[in-house]
Amino acid sequence: MAKQRIIALEEHFWVPALRDRFTGFHRVRGHQPNVRLTDLGQGRIAEMDEAGIDVQVLSHVQPGPQVFDAETSVTLAREANDLLAEACRARPDRLAGFAALPTPDPKAAADELERTVTRYGFKGAMINGLTNGAFIDEKRFWPIFERAEALDVPIYLHPAIPHQQVIDAYFKDYLQGDYPILMGAVWGFNVETSTQVLRLMLSGVFDKHPKLKFIIGHMGETIPFSLWRLDWTVRHLTGREGFADLFRTHFWITTSGNFSNPALICSLLELGAERIMFSVDYPYNSNVAGVAFVNNAPISPSDREKIFAGNAAALLRL
């Protein structure tokens, strides 16, 4: 029997120039474990081999260029993308890339997306959280979406530290050291990213760009579990039909950092296997554990193949 191909889509790295400018809570969350984030070669590929992962699509760890001024974000995004391109050129059989985008300058971000896709063969882009406190549905960011649609590549929406006012109002009371426990991957990341998604769905961007594609991680940031209620409530509040179908049409989800059979089965029932792709969230989660999760999940062999590689190969042309 031929080996099952495995493609992982939410797998992180960092570059010193971006890393060393992180401050505050970004530094707490974004600086561990540093050795594995820096390794774009032998050590990373050895861990992929151990788990049987054929390809990692790499992206810069949060918060990315989204937290800097426009000029700085352009410089740092370009540096991160150039370094990633070098790594992908060295091992094109094992590594691919999502671009870091300088969203504080939306025109430059659109141009950087085109540069990295056309010159380096990147498979899309990752946007980490809010852009200096602003949600990505604001119309000033729509040139990025226009370019992504024209290039026929997806944008991966990844969490980052929530808005400071949200941290102060919701998360500051329960601390691990000086880090609010609920602020990050425990809860705040899900809330922030799912809010970005829902705002996009209400914004009209998909009417203007009907072929626009997004990916979100962590088994859909809780949206599959809430999709029926979201659809029902939006319809009763606004008369708008098809809210759930809008999500099913424009979004793919990944298994990154959420190795739960109930969450997977819920997502399969709501979205279908064609909308789910394998990811680990390396190095914060284990490659071996992520692969074992899908291998042991109570799903059909055909669905397993789609999740492990088929869907990603089709969407990203891998």
**Residues identified as active-site:** 281
Distance CA 155, CA 150 (A): 13
Alpha helices in 91-239 (DSSP H): 106-120, 142-151, 164-166, 188-203, 205-208, 223-238
Contact 223, 244 (CB under 8 A): no
Distance CA 5, CA 306 (A): 10
User: Residue 96 corresponds to which amino acid?
Assistant: A
Contact 66, 103 (CB under 8 A): yes
Pairing of strands 95-97, 175-176: unpaired
Q: Which residues touch 262 (CB under 8 Å, ≥6 apart)?
A: none
Distance CA 287, CA 268 (A): 22
Q: Which residues touch 139 (CB under 8 Å, ≥6 apart)?
A: 203
Cα-Cα-Cα-Cα torsion 107, 109, 114, 119, nearest 10 degrees, comes to 130
Distance CA 312, CA 108 (A): 27
